[in-house]
Amino acid sequence: MYTVPKLKSYTTAALDKAVETLRAALEQEWKAVKNESEWKAFRDRWMARKNGILTEVNDLWLKAAPKDAKRAVGQRVNEIKKQVEDSVHRAESLYKDAAGTRVALDAVDITLPGIRRPLGAEHPVIKTVHEIVSVFRNLGYSVQEGPVIETDYYNFEALNFPPNHPARDTQDTLFIAGQESKPQRERLLLRTHTSPVQIRTVEKMKPPIRIVIPGTVHRNDPPDASHSPMFHQIEGLAVDTNITFRDLKGTLDHAMKALFGSSARTSFRPSFFPFTEPSAEMMVSCFICGGTGKRGSEPCRPCKQTGWIEILGCGMVDPNVYGFVDYDPKKVSGFAFGMGADRIAILKYGVDDIQLFFNGDVRFLEQFG
C-alpha cells in the first residue's frame, strides 16, 4: 500500500520520481473501486483533511521544501490535487456505471426475442370430455359438477343401493379412513361414479332437468392397460313429463353419431343398476372396423372381433330414486346414463394403455397438441 515518503532531495529528477510513484498508486487504486463503500474508503484515503494522502503530500513535500524549491513543489502538488480529485470522480462513475450495467442486465430488454414457452395441449381425456359435453350442450343440456369426496348417502343410499346390498360390491369403493364412528350414510368415500351428482342436482332443481356431469371418479382397481384407480365419467340426466325409453335411445343414438360419425349405430342390451329400471348397456358399432370385426385380414382388437363396443350404462330413473328427492314419480319420468371418457378417448385415439394418459410423459401428451 502506497505511503507518502519524505523527500530527501528536491531535484527535478527526484520530484519526478516521487510524483511518478504516487500517480502509479493513484491509478491502480481508483480503477479497483467496485462499490460505494470502497469508493468512500478510496476518497478518504486520498482526500481526508486529517491524514489524507493529499494532506501528507502538502505537509511532507511542500511545507518541508526549502525556499527555492517551493515553487516547483507547489506546482506539482497542485497538479496532484487535481489528479486525485479527478480520480475520485472517475472511480465514482466507474462503480456506478458497473452497477448500472448490472441493473440493465437484470431488467427486461424489450428488444430481445423473448423466451417462448412451449404451448400446452389439451389433455386427450379432457378433450374427449369437452367434445362429449358439447354434444349434449347442443341438445340443451347444462353442466353440473359435484364433490369427488362423497358421502355414502349420495354415492349409494340415495341411488337406491341399500346398506349391505351386493350391488355395492361391484363398485370397488375406496373409503376414507377413520369414519367408523359416523352413521353409515355420513361416512366419506371417493365417489365411484358421477351418479351422486344426479341426486345433488335434483335436490336443488325442479323438472324439467337436462344435465351432464363430467368428473373424476375412483375405484379400487389395480392399474393395468385398461384400468386406472382414477378415471373420468360423464353422467347425463333428463327428467321431465312423459320421458320414455325412446327418448333415451334417440338421444344416445344421436350423441354417438355426433361423436363418432353418422355411420355409427347403437345397440342396447339389458343390464342392472339399482337406480335405473329398466337398465341397459349401450353398445356402439366399432368405429375402428366399422362393425365388421376385422381390419383387413387382421382381427379387430378394440371390439374383440364382435363389431360392437360397450360404451355406457343407462336406464330409466328408478321411481325409488324420486322418493329420495321429493319428486312425484307419477308425474315425472326420466333417463340417466353414464359413460367412461377415458375408454372413449382410448378408442378414439387408438391408445393401447390407459396408463399413458396419467403418467405425464410429455412425449405422449404433445402428440395431441
Cis peptide before 208 (omega within 30 of 0): yes
Q: Which stretch binds ligand PHE (CB under 6 A): 5-13, 98-106, 292-300, 307-315?
A: 307-315
158 near ligand PHE, judged by CB under 6 A: no
Q: Least Å distance between CB 142 and ligand PHE?
A: 17
Q: Which is nearer to ligand PHE, 113 or 166 (CB)?
A: 166
Cell of 328: 312425484
Side-chain-facing half-sphere of 244: CA atoms under 13 Å: 3
- Residues 6+ positions from 157 with CB-CB distance below 8 Å: 163, 184, 185, 324
Q: Which of residues 218-247 bind ligand PHE (CB under 6 A)?
A: 235
Local structure of 41: helix, strand or coil? helix
Cβ 303 to ligand PHE, closest distance in Å? 20
Among 273, 287, 308, 357, binds ligand PHE (CB under 6 A): 273
**Phi, psi angles (nearest 5°) of residue 304:** 50, 40
**Closer CB to ligand PHE, 207 or 338, in the complex:** 338
User: Of the ranges 201-209, 222-230, 292-300, 309-317, which one interacts with ligand PHE (CB under 6 A)?
Assistant: 309-317
Judge whether 243 and 335 are in contact, CB under 8 Å: yes
Rank residues 193 and 200 by Cβ distance to ligand PHE and give the closer one: 193
Instruction: Out of 39, 42, 337, 357, name the contact with ligand PHE by CB under 6 A.
Output: 337
Q: Binders of ligand PHE: how many residues, by CB under 6 A?
A: 11
Measured from each CB, the residue nearest to ligand PHE is 338
Peptide bond into 278 cis (omega under 30): yes
CA distance 116 to 365: 19
Where do we find the cell 394418459? 357
- The alpha carbon of residue 245 and the mean position of all alpha carbons in its chain are separated, in whole angstroms, by 42
- The yes or no reply on residue 307 touching ligand PHE (CB under 6 A) is no
Residue 364 Cβ vs ligand PHE, minimum distance, rounded to whole Å? 27
Q: Do residues 317 and 237 lie in contact, with contact meaning Cβ atoms separated by under 8 Å?
A: yes
Q: Is 314 left (phi over 0), alpha (psi -120 to 50) or beta?
A: beta
Binding residue for ligand PHE, selected from 193, 210, 218, 343, defined by CB under 6 A: 193
Q: Rule CB under 6 A: which of 311-330 touch ligand PHE?
A: 313-315
Q: Which spans of this chain sit near ligand PHE (rule: CB under 6 A)? A: 193, 195, 235, 273, 276, 313-315, 336-338
